[in-house]
Amino acid sequence: MNRVCAPCGDKCRGSEGGIAAGGNRVTPVHFVSTASVVARRGSNPSVIKEDTRLTIGEVEDTGYVQSKWVAEELMHAAAARGLPVTIHRPGRVSGHGQTGIGSTSIGFWHFIRSMLLLQAAPDLRSDRLTLAPVDDVAQALAALIERGEPGATYHLSNRMQTSIRAVVERRKELGII
């Protein structure tokens, strides 16, 4: 499917297909987005509420975040037409809570691995971040799909912060490069 997207005027693929798949019956949609669609460039409040919506010009200037923003706008349009849409926004997801095993194809982890290999870290303006173990995010997502409020938006993130330096140190301790 390839149509011109009303929210941004670009050609988009994929998100509209799930809406039409239900045929005549109404099938609830659970869309997994990203918390980055509500994180402004620059500074943000310490807590970002679930009802926050930004304009395309306010979100991070990357294809991933902007495509998630467009897809969320399509979900909001579908909800306005009566489709029960629940949006799930995971924050930064880390490896498994017990084993530490996680994706090796995500840019953030390439950044961490580079620092380990170079044995150097940049002096960042802010290196505070939250990481939620993938198994915790998956359990929360499954529970919300089963028992959550239809039509709601949920942020799936860890309230506790850590630092990039702490992540690098822990990975060194575990021998993970």
pLDDT tens per residue, range 31-90: 999 999 998 877 777 788 899 999 999 998 899 999 999 999 999 999 999 999 999 999
**CB-based contacts of 142-151 (< 8 A; 24+ apart in sequence):** 144/30, 144/86, 144/88, 145/30, 145/86, 148/86, 149/86, 150/28, 150/84, 150/86, 151/79, 151/84, 151/85, 151/86
Give yes or no for residue 16 having a pLDDT over 80.
no
pLDDT tens per residue, range 149-172: 999 999 999 888 888 888 778 877
Q: What pLDDT score does 23 carry?
A: 59
* Tally of residues, the chain: 177
Q: What are the residues whose beta carbons fall under 8 Å from the beta carbon of 82, sequence distance 6 or more?
A: 26
Q: What pLDDT score does 164 carry?
A: 81
Closest CA to 65 of 75, 56, 74: 56
Say which DSSP state 55 is in. Answer: -
Q: Is the pTM of this model over 0.85?
A: no
Q: What pLDDT score does 125 carry?
A: 65
